């Protein structure tokens, strides 16, 4: 907390600006896109503050940074989703989940966690299926599969049962779960029925998820610092 907390102050301030201004979604503009993306820009700065050499030498951190870049582009597209850019935003976040999954890695495999996430993802899609039509029938299926896979890799990396977890792996796990909650709320609100306070739920869980996933990128840095002190 002492080492990483101060670097996140701009993120918290930018998030407060978003919720205080609470710009209406009915009149999209480049200014509203900037305000929405500003917290994610601050997470770019958070990772860049650890040094370019750190990002270059640690692929997981650089992939999370790339995921944050695609997330910001996706956020911008979703500002104009009523003008036909929802699918564009969906594509950007699909790429984000692929990058995050790659950052979390495939070890340990943890097939039990994979089965659990598969069941959760399948249940969500089964519920949404009757509300979907046209290209969304398969686009949503692919997207749910990708975010479910990302959630599996985050949960598998935590290794809670083996007492091998660290606070950064826990951050990745919680972040992935919050991302799933945010996206599920979007899907329910868009395709099924109005969700009370949907925008607040979506954005609060989304910003928290991105912050926690960004925090997980400093895992290798912590290990290096510990070895140096030892």
Q: Tell me: the pLDDT tens digits for 11-70?
A: 999 999 999 999 999 999 999 999 999 999 999 999 999 989 999 999 999 999 999 999
* DSSP letter, residue 91: H
Please tell me the distance from the alpha carbon of residue 38 to that of residue 26, in angstroms, as a whole number: 20
pLDDT digits (tens, 9 = 90+) for 128-165: 999 999 999 999 999 999 999 999 999 998 876 665 67
3 state DSSP class of 131: coil
pLDDT at 225 (0 to 100): 47
**220: three-class secondary structure by DSSP:** helix
Tell me the C-alpha distance between 9 and 109, whole Å.
Answer: 35
Confidence (pTM): 0.93
* 152's tokens: 């599996």
Q: For residue 229, what pLDDT is reported? A: 44
By residue range, what is the domain housing residue 144?
A: 2-226
pLDDT band at 224 (very low <50, low <70, confident <90, very high): very low
Number of domains in the chain: 1
H helix and E strand count, the chain: 10, 0
């Amino acid at each position: 907390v002492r080492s990483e907390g101060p670097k996140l102050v701009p993120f918290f301030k930018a998030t407060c600006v978003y919720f205080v201004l609470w710009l209406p979604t009915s009149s999209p503009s480049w200014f509203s896109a900037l305000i929405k993306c500003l917290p994610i820009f601050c997470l770019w700065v958070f990772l860049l503050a650890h040094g370019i050499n750190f990002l270059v030498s640690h692929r997981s951190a650089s992939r999370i940074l790339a995921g944050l870049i695609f997330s910001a582009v996706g956020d911008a597209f979703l500002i104009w989703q009523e003008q036909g850019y929802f699918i564009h935003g969906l594509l950007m976040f699909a790429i984000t989940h692929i990058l995050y999954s790659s950052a979390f890695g495939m070890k340990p495999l943890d097939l039990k966690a994979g089965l659990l996430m598969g069941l959760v993802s399948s249940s969500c899609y089964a519920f949404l299926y009757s509300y979907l039509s046209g290209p969304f029938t398969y686009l949503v299926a692919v997207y749910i599969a990708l975010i479910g896979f990302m959630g599996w890799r985050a949960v598998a990396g935590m290794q809670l049962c083996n007492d091998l977890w660290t606070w950064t792996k826990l951050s990745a796990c919680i972040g992935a779960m919050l991302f799933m909650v945010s996206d599920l709320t979007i899907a329910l609100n868009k395709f099924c029925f109005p969700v009370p306070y949907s925008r607040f739920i979506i954005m609060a869980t989304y910003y928290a998820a991105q912050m926690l996933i960004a925090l997980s990128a400093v895992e290798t840095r912590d290990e290096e610092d510990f070895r140096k002190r030892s």
